[in-house]
A and B are shown apart, each in its own frame.
Chain A
Amino acid sequence: MIVGTADVEVLAKQAATIESFTEDAIQLDDVLCMQVTAEMRNQAREAVLPPSLHPTVPAALSLQVWCVGGSPWGAFDMAVTRVACRSGVRARGFTTAVVASSAVVCRGLRGIFGFPARIGEVSLRHGYDGVSAWVVDGGEPILRINAIDPEPMSNDDVQYTSTVNLAHTPQGLRLVQLECDHAITRVERLRASIESFVGKAWGNALLDPYRVVSASVTRSTAVYPPIRFVCKADELAFTGTERVGVSR
């Protein structure tokens, strides 16, 4: 099986730090989430993932832009890029970068979930005719997506895979396995185009979402249960997985 070949030490430079794992679930209310899935070329297949993870064939990138109405840190916006992968036999998305709208939110995302979050401007506009999103980082536009022709779908028709974040944890540098339960109340599927995307700003210049597969927007309540498992970044999940609080 193919596995990631990225240098873990290089990846670790951007990694967040989780001082201690929280035992409480975190709830995000009134979440509007646009997800765009796009295929990438093989140059980004193994090269962007740590050796613990297996890329999908073809390589694929999930771009999510969230507008959150309520959270422990108040309302906020964020954009997340995740590379589709497998951890052991589980479908996952490996986070390469997160841009969020305030310093307080970034601290929360980094310290609780291990997201590699930084501050930027994030905008998500949802209308009856479509959805558009853009992200600006340091005055430079790094993402622009337009999606049109919304088509209502059933709440079960969209699939969110769980996330893995590389973070410094009490158990060392680990891939943090982050589940998220979405209680979805509305789903639309759209036709999207990625009008601009700066790979370097999203964690790796090799990221190349050249072919949009699908786009959806959902309204939900998102609940992150407490983190239960982490995995060594340079060891396959079959042997490298550890229960939180129990390192091997």
Chain B
Amino acid sequence: MKFGIFFELSTPRPLARASEHAVYQNALAQCRLADELGFDHVWAVEHHFLEEYSHCSAPEVFLAAVAAQTRRIRIGHGAVVFVPQMNHPIRVAERAAALDIISNGRLEFGTARSSTWTELGGFEVNPDDTKKTWDEFVRVLPQMWTQTEFEWQGKSFSMPSRNVLPKPYQDPHPPMWVTVTTPGTELDAAERGLGCLGVSAAGYDEQERRTKEYHRRIASCTPAGGVINDQVHTMNFLYCHEDYRKARAVGVPMVNSFNVANAHLYWTREAYPTRAYQTLGNVGAAMKAKQAPADDPSVAKGLPEGVGVGDPEHLVRVIKRWESIGVTGINFLLNAMEMVPQEEVLASMRLFAREVMPQFRSKHEASQAVYTPAKMPVYAASGSA
């Protein structure tokens, strides 16, 4: 089981430059501590224009600072939005490779297509096209990272023969992931040999169903790149305190504030009739996630099952359940809207690392290779395999 931390960089109103500065500096401090404590990943999202919910529009810059200030934690660029109006694929390949170099090969590379009209409309993206451009970018990036001469005549972009530089430090390239908001995207990930980076709420049963199907499909995948990443990570919240009641008193409002902010996003489906977006983002999943059983006194009332808010004993129980259904990593949101004072966030991380993490670590596990090398696919310059 891998443990990560996950940043939206939410910033509460009143929106002020000092507030954004504090959010970024607090997050960097959390990254430094996570590195010391043995967390495995730090992930930062890419979102644009999402007032309060996420002020993380330049994650590559934030993550460059994380890479410079940490030693061993892996750097999760998660996820880069794969639409050309937001990110040209050449620039994506260049930035990611540079980040892999300065982090000494610690980059994990997430891919996404954006879910809100606020973002897609802001960049004048046609929502019908985002699955197509995502798929094209996913196949192209590994080629740019590994070939010394690359040319492409594609649907969303073309380029003459060039050597895209620099090359990533990891050979052949960093592990790739897909953020899974819409149910079914995990199957897209599996078919391409990409890791499943869950970012929406799902209950145990639903996650188990999705994970089983993911593993079934990835066994016969056609890898998009030179690495098969068959990891299934989910997003969760973390507030750990020795006193369960205190954990609940602090953690539940934090979780609720995130969920409310998430529900307030202007999802593409609400604004634009399209086959490409069949759900209202994370909201549908969150609404459907099972509420914790009311007769379990150790479970925070009002939270969906499996949320990482509680005392260490509770968190061990919750994580063992996630582990039992095939989840290989959990990325924790440590704060939302700065609801939890920074000192308490850091204390929660320390307690988690001391009391919970050791229950899931062994020397044997640490020595195992996580990723499976794959044969690099070869694509014709016309864009077809």
Contact = CB atoms under 8 A, between A and B. Distances in A.
A56 B264 contact: yes
Interface residues on A, range: 20 to 34
B290 interface: no
B182 to A, nearest CB: 13
A154 B269 CA distance: 13
A86 interface: yes
A216 interface: yes
B75 interface: no
A157 B277 CA distance: 8
Interface stretch (B45-53, B62-70, B303-311, B315-323): B45-53
Interface in B266-306: 266-267, 269-275, 278, 280, 283
A58 B264 contact: no
Interface residues on B, range: 20 to 34
A247 B255 CA distance: 29
A57 B49 contact: yes
Of B260, B264, B269, most buried by chain A (CB within 10 Å of CB) is B264
Given A58-B121, A187-B273, A213-B117, A1 B261 contact: yes
Contacts of B50: 57
Interface string B80-102: 00000000000000000000000
A157 B273 contact: yes
Contacts of B267: 91
Contacts of B266: 56-58, 60, 84
Contacts, number: 68
Contacts of B260: 1, 88-89
B297 to A, nearest CB: 25
Contacts of B269: 159
A245 to B, nearest CB: 25
Contacts of A157: 273-275
B118 interface: yes
Contacts of B270: 84, 91, 159, 161
Nearest to A151: B273
B104 interface: no
B13 interface: yes
A104 interface: no
B70 to A, nearest CB: 33
Contacts of A183: none
Of B121, B270, B272, B280, most buried by chain A (CB within 10 Å of CB) is B270
Contacts of A101: none
A118 interface: no
B273 A2 contact: no
Given A57-B266, A58-B266, A37 B271 contact: yes
A91 B117 CA distance: 14
Contacts of B259: 89
B261 A153 contact: no
A216 B260 CA distance: 29
A90 B262 CA distance: 11
Nearest to B127: A214
B272 A57 contact: no
Contacts of B274: 153, 157, 189
A39 interface: yes
Interface in A203-246: 213-214, 216
Interface of A: 1-2, 37, 39, 54, 56-58, 60, 84, 86, 88-91, 153-154, 156-159, 161, 187, 189, 213-214, 216
Interface of B: 13, 49-52, 117-118, 121, 259-261, 263-264, 266-267, 269-275, 278, 280, 283
Given A57-B51, A84-B266, A214-B273, 10 more contacts: A58-B266, A84-B271, A86-B263, A86-B264, A89-B259, A91-B270, A153-B275, A157-B273, A157-B274, A159-B280
